[in-house]
């Protein structure tokens, strides 16, 4: 562990080199720490569903159930937990792709409103099934050079979250031009996010209230991926939210 800092006095080249090496050491330590946190996060996320799968499959193998109803219930748990692992592995894969490519975007002149329409069409059946409405207010915006696949993923993640964390009401997606920028908003009438958590939700693996998030089968990677993609487009993403008062995610892109 990088711990000891030897004071480097003076202003000559050797002293400057000394300070540079020290600051490099600190940076390396930072990366080492975040890598360790990351691995700890992944192991933790995998361990929980695996424990369920192992436990319930043991029970089934030993025939320790009273009825076929009970048997079905255990199989359902195994199935759900396997799904969780599969979502996690997918999210990890998306994340590693982002890192390997170092954010090389496959940009082409794109119509963002069309991408929004596509995301809405794909998610509509699931959203309606939950009894939530989805609407859009798409204004005329200029075509810009973005990576359409990645932007679709961003919108997909945001709308999926809006759906996951909303019990009733409406999801509204809007796009408009404001000075030299394009604004995209995904607004929901869901459970909202406490003020104290707002800055943390874009962190890797961060979920508000673990137990509640677990029920919705999230991994805490979605918004991290979203933020990395938006940043790669030199854009910005912000969130406004109130507990039980819905959330609004806003993406700002330069024209
Ligand atoms: P997850 O896979 O858990 O949804 P995300 O990175 O997408 O992970 O989001 C991180 C956390 O932010 C979520 O666990 C949830 O607590 C909170 N969150 C994200 N979007 C919303 C939303 N639209 N409404 C309420 N909470 C949200």
216: left (phi over 0), alpha (psi -120 to 50) or beta: alpha
Point out the ligand 1 atom lying closest to the alpha carbon of residue 219: 2
pLDDT reading at 2 higher than 50: no
- State which of 87, 222, 243 you would mutate to test the pocket of ligand 1, scoring each by most atoms of that ligand within 8 A of its C-beta: 222
Contact assessment for residue 189 and residue 169, using Cβ atoms and an 8 Å cutoff = yes
Distance of alpha carbon 144 from alpha carbon 255, whole angstroms: 6
Point out the ligand 1 atom lying closest to the alpha carbon of residue 186: 23
Ligand 1 pocket residue status of 159, Cβ below 6 Å? no
Q: What is the ipTM of this complex?
A: 0.97
Ligand 1 pocket residue status of 206, Cβ below 6 Å? yes
* % of the chain at pLDDT higher than 90: 53
The DSSP string of 7-49 is ---SSSHHHHHHHHHHHHHHHHHHHHHHHHHHHHHHHHHHHHH
pLDDT, one tens digit per residue, over 115-152 is 999 999 989 988 999 999 999 999 999 999 999 988 99
Evaluate if pTM is beyond 0.80.
no
Q: How far is CA 217 from the centre of its chain?
A: 12
Would you place residue 84 in the very low, low, confident or very high pLDDT band (cuts 50, 70, 90)?
A: confident
């Amino acid at each position: 562990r990088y711990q000891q800092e030897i004071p480097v006095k003076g202003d000559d080249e050797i002293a400057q080199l000394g300070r540079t090496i020290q600051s490099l050491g600190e940076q390396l330590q930072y990366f080492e720490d975040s890598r360790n946190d990351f691995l700890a996060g992944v192991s933790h996320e995998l361990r929980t569903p695996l424990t369920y799968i192992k436990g319930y499959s043991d029970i089934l193998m030993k025939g320790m159930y009273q009825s076929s109803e009970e048997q079905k219930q255990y199989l359902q748990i195994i199935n759900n937990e396997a799904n969780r692992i599969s979502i996690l592995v997918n999210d990890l894969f998306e994340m590693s792709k982002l890192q390997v490519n170092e954010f090389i975007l496959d940009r082409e002149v794109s119509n963002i409103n069309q991408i929004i329409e596509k995301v809405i069409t794909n998610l509509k059946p699931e959203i309606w099934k939950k009894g939530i409405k989805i609407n859009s207010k798409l204004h005329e915006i200029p075509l810009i050079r973005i990576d359409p696949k990645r932007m679709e993923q961003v919108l997909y993640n945001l709308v999926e979250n809006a759906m996951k964390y909303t019990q009733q009401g409406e999801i509204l997606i809007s796009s408009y031009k404001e000075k030299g920028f394009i604004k995209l908003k995904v607004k929901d009438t869901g459970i909202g996010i406490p003020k104290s958590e707002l800055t943390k939700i874009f962190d890797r693996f961060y979920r508000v209230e673990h137990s509640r998030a677990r029920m919705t089968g999230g991994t805490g990677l979605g918004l991290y991926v979203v933020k990395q993609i938006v940043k790669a487009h030199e854009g910005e993403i912000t969130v406004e939210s109130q507990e039980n008062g819905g959330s609004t995610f806003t993406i700002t892109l330069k024209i």
